Every structure is written in C-alpha cells, then in structure tokens.
Structure 1
Amino acid sequence: MRMIFGLVLLVGIALAGGAVYLAKGQIGQYKNAIARAEAAKQQIIATEKIFVVTRKLEYGEKLTKDDVRVVDFPKAALPEGHFTELAAIFPENTDKPRIVLRPIEKDEALLDIKVTKPGEDAGLTSRLERGMRAFAISVDVSSGVSGFLRPGDRVDVYWTGRVGNGQSRQEVTKLIESSVPLIAVDQSSGSVEGARIARTVTVAVDPNQVASLAQAQSTGRLSLSLVGAGDDIEIASNIEVNQQDLLGIEEEAQAPVIAKEKVCTIRTRRGAEVVNLPIPCTN
C-alpha cells in the first residue's frame, strides 16, 4: 500500500513539474509576442490622407472628380503642393474646371503645380521653367523626323551651311544644341495622335540659346534628331562634318607663292627721250 502511495506521489510530482515547465514556456512565448508587438508599433509609419489620380492624365485634359481618389501617404515624404481635401481641388463656389499642365501618371500624387487654378487658361507659358524662353524652329518632313515629334520629346539640333572664303568655302553640318525639350508641335502643346508633318516645333531654351538658334536659322538650315526617352549620354558639342570629311577627300597642298622682287625706278629725260632708271628701294 505504501509502495502504491509512493508511486502516486512521484507521478503527481512529475506531472506538477511538467505543468510548471509548460507554463513557463507559454509565459515566455507570450512575453516574446508582446515584445514583437511593441517593436512593430514603433516601426509603424505615420501617414496622412492625400489625393492621387486614378488614371494617366495628359497636358490639356480637364480634371474631374472621377480622376482623383484618397490614399494614405507617408507623412515623412509628403510632396509639396499636395491636396488633402476635395473642396480644395474642386471649390464649391465655382464650376470652372482645372486643366492639367503636365503629364501625371496613374496613382501619382496630385500637386497644385501640375494643374491650373479653376478656370485658368493653360497657355504655353505654363510649360516654361524659370529663366527659359520658347523658340520656334521651322521644319519639314526631312528635318522634322518625318512627323514623329511630340511635345515632351527631346531633340538634338544640327546646323548646315557654308563657311570659309573663296576656294576654301565649303558646306558643313554641326551640332549646335543637344537634348533640347520640345514644348509644342505646330499649334499643339498637348498629345498628338499619329504621325503628323509639322511646319514648326517650339523648344524651351535659355536666352543665349535663343540667340544661337536665331542666328543659325537665318544663315543656314536646321535639322532635328530625336533623342531616346531613356538616353542620358552626354554628347560632345564639337561634332562637325564637312564635305571633305564625308567623302574622304584630302586637302590638296597649294603651291608656294613666290614673291616677285620689287623693282624701283625713276623717270628721267635724256634729250627728247624719257627713260626709267633703276634705283634702290627705300622700303
């Protein structure tokens, strides 16, 4: 009987110890979970509700209420000029629309710099950065990249004309401006559907470039070369090709000019005859 009692006591002690061990394990897991939750709370990023666009918007489009929606945006990275209230985008005291000034991608934050004020005209001047000027370049099917130019593209500008004097006068082609942004094609500063042969393109350049392009356009022909969308390679500004370089013609050496000896004379009369007598030259 005592032996049975002893066995029961040992089994009870073993079960109690196992229960304590299991309880310690559960308490440890619970403490770890609480620690992880506290760490996760500390890593939570503070956000603010702002408006983004629901689709891709092009220059010149009217902004409507269906084009915007609210999202949570990190406060630490809020862009300048964002909107937090629908009434700030579409004021209730006017029904005049806002016009998109610059292309906006889907889910991009709507900024006041990219849309006009309600009823404001979206003229060409709104596409010019500070210190830049608009300059029109006459083009045709060959010089205007066969009508594939669009506002927002970048182009290299080449000048072709004659340089030199006399027999050394020859035609050259030279790169005069690199990666110039287009802001309008003919009278359109928005998206252009399909290929269209333009008569003029308008570029955004600084005043010095305006002077260079005006001089180049009045003294020769300008041609445009379309720059790739992801091309960021810097091109040397001294690109120039003349007819001899193009055809591989070496310049012929000119025969040396032999200077004639200067002869000085003086006229004198010998009787009825007038003769020229040589004398030393004074200079």
Structure 2
Amino acid sequence: MLRLLILIIALGAGGGAAWIATQQTATAPDPAPVAAPPEPAIEMTSVLVAEMDLARSGEVTAEALRWQDWPVEAVPPSAIERKAQPGGLREATGQYATRPILTGEPIGQHLLAPTPGSYLAAMLSPGKRAVAIDANTQSTAGGFILPNDRVDVLYTTERGNDAPELRSRTILKGVRVLAIDQSTDQTTANTVLGRTATLELTEAQAEVVTAAQSSGTLSLSLRPMVETPGEPSMDAMEAPKRIRVGRGTSIEDITLN
C-alpha cells in the first residue's frame, strides 16, 4: 500500500513538471527577426534623352527632348548631363540629328550638327580626318562592312618586272568606317556593295593611306565587334629601296619593295 502511494505521488509530480514545461514553451516569445542590411542607394543624375524617334538630318525640337533620371554609373561618356550642362536642352534645340535616334536614347554632341548637311563632320572625333578611299568592300568582306564598323587596311603592290609578284600587308588596324559610298547608316537589312569607303584617320594616317592608294591597291578587312576598338594603330610604310644594276654597257634602276 505504501509503495502504491509513493508511485502515485511520483507520477503526479512528473506530470506537473511536464505541464509547467509545456506552458513555459507555449508562452515564450519568438526571437526577434534579424533585419537585413539596407540596399545601397543608387546615385542618380539627369541626362538628355530623345522623347521621340528622330530621323537623320531631322531638326531637333524642344518637344523631341526631355531630361531623364539615369544611374550615374551607367551614364554614357558622350551624354549631355544636366548637372554639367544645365542649358543642354536649350542648346540642342534647333540642331540636326547626325543619324537616326531612338526614343529614350541619351543625346550626345556627336549626334547633333548645326546644319543638315554637316552630319559627317559632326561624326568625326576631335583631331581626326575623313578620308575616302577606293576599296572593294565586296571582295574583302562580302559587302558586310557597314558604317561604324572597325576594319584593317591592307595594302597590295606588285614586285618584280619579268614575273610580277603580288605582296599584301596590313598598314592600318582598328580604323573606324564613317561611310560606305554615300551611306552613313549603321543599321540596314541588306549588304552594302560599295566601292568607296570613308575612314576616320589621324593626319599622319591620312598621309600614309593617300600615298599607298597612289602606288597600290587598298582593301578592307572586317574586325570582330567583341574587340575593344581603342585607338587605331599604324604600321610604318617602308620607303622603296632603289638600287642601280649594271649589265655590260647598260645601267638599270631596280626598285625593291
């Protein structure tokens, strides 16, 4: 009888302890959530963009432009920024588009020209010259060379007298194409089988190309778009070496290329 009473008391004590533990667990507050670190604020600025599509050589009106908020890190280098040029919208009004401009596209000075016919001059980078060359773009790249592409310029000459041998080498690398024939449009659904290419060159490069064109044939080689254009490079053209050869009583001048 005593053992049964002890067992009942032990079971009662255990059940009470379990009930108290359950109540404490049920009423314990949930841990406070850990706040996520705040997102860094994106620094914004205002750039001038097109409010509507603009055609090449079309006049830019005030209604065709607007200021647009833009992330500072994504502002194109050539864009007109309101902080730097607060009068940019007024200054751009009345000028002419050098190429088709799409709605929402940032406006830069290279896209504007003071007169409708000066778009090619407006496309030139400072210190550069536009030089037209006779280059068969159909044979060099199947007619797929378009304005704003980057190309290498190949120079081909003949060497030897009795059995002429053709010799080609690259004299310019990474040159920007401004126009093919009379077309300066970059986007086209068709190939451009032009005979004349207008290139953007420095003054020294223009002299080399002019000299090469008068003494040989120039061709263009298309470069990949994924390559960073950088500044065009030029391989110096060696002056032809002339030697005088005597054969008996005759003397002959020979040019070595």
Q: Does 1:99 align with 2:100?
A: no
Q: Does 1:123 align with 2:126?
A: no
Partner of 2:204: 208
Partner of 2:239: none
Q: Counterpart of 1:74 in structure 2: which amino acid? A: P
1:120-160 Cα deviation digits (max 9, x unpaired): 76521222222221111113465564433210112222222
Q: Tell me how far apart the structure 2 counterparts of residues 208 and 45 of structure 1 sit (CA, whole Å).
A: 48
SS in 2 for 1:228: coil
CA contact (8 A) 1:62 1:100 kept: no
CA contact (8 A) 1:55 1:106 kept: yes
**For residues 49 and 129 of structure 1, do their structure 2 counterparts lie closer, same or farther at Cα, with a shift above 3 Å needed?**
closer
User: Offset of 1:183 from its aligned partner?
Assistant: 0.5
Q: Counterpart of 1:153 in structure 2: which amino acid? A: D
Consecutive unaligned residues of structure 1, counting only runs of 5 or more, are 239-256, 258-283
Q: How many residue pairs end up in the alignment?
A: 220
SS in 2 for 1:202: strand
Partner of 2:145: 149
Given the two structures, how large is their TM-score scaled by the length of structure 1?
0.55
Write out aligned runs for 1:130-169 (5 A).
130-140=126-136, 143=139, 145-163=141-159
Q: Tell me how far apart the structure 2 counterparts of residues 205 and 94 of structure 1 sit (CA, whole Å).
A: 27
Write out aligned runs for 1:118-267 (5 A).
122-140=118-136, 143=139, 145-163=141-159, 170-191=165-186, 193=188, 194-231=190-227
Consecutive unaligned residues of structure 2, counting only runs of 5 or more, are 1-8, 237-246, 248-257
Q: Tell me how far apart the structure 2 counterparts of residues 152 and 58 of structure 1 sit (CA, whole Å).
A: 18
User: Offset of 1:209 from its aligned partner?
Assistant: 1.5
User: Offset of 1:97 from its aligned partner?
Assistant: 5.7
User: Offset of 1:217 from its aligned partner?
Assistant: 0.7
Q: Tell me how far apart the structure 1 counterparts of residues 67 and 17 of structure 2 sit (CA, whole Å).
A: 70
Q: Tell me how far apart the structure 1 counterparts of residues 138 and 17 of structure 2 sit (CA, whole Å).
A: 102
CA contact (8 A) 2:137 2:220 kept: no
SS in 2 for 1:147: coil
Partner of 2:32: 29
SS in 2 for 1:161: strand
Q: Counterpart of 2:174 in structure 1: which amino acid? A: S
Q: Tell me how far apart the structure 2 counterparts of residues 168 and 11 of structure 1 sit (CA, whole Å).
A: 110
**For residues 106 and 94 of structure 1, do their structure 2 counterparts lie closer, same or farther at Cα, with a shift above 3 Å needed?**
closer
Q: Tell me how far apart the structure 2 counterparts of residues 173 and 84 of structure 1 sit (CA, whole Å).
A: 50
User: Offset of 1:186 from its aligned partner?
Assistant: 1.3
**For residues 189 and 78 of structure 1, do their structure 2 counterparts lie closer, same or farther at Cα, with a shift above 3 Å needed?**
closer
Mean CA deviation greater in 76-85 or 212-221: 76-85
Q: Counterpart of 2:149 in structure 1: which amino acid? A: D
Given the two structures, how large is their TM-score scaled by the length of structure 2?
0.59
Partner of 1:250: none
Q: Counterpart of 1:215 in structure 2: which amino acid? A: A
Root-mean-square deviation (Å): 4.9
Q: Tell me how far apart the structure 2 counterparts of residues 50 and 147 of structure 1 sit (CA, whole Å).
A: 40
Q: Tell me how far apart the structure 1 counterparts of residues 233 and 206 of structure 2 sit (CA, whole Å).
A: 20
**For residues 114 and 58 of structure 1, do their structure 2 counterparts lie closer, same or farther at Cα, with a shift above 3 Å needed?**
farther
User: Offset of 1:74 from its aligned partner?
Assistant: 3.3
Q: Tell me how far apart the structure 1 counterparts of residues 168 and 73 of structure 2 sit (CA, whole Å).
A: 51
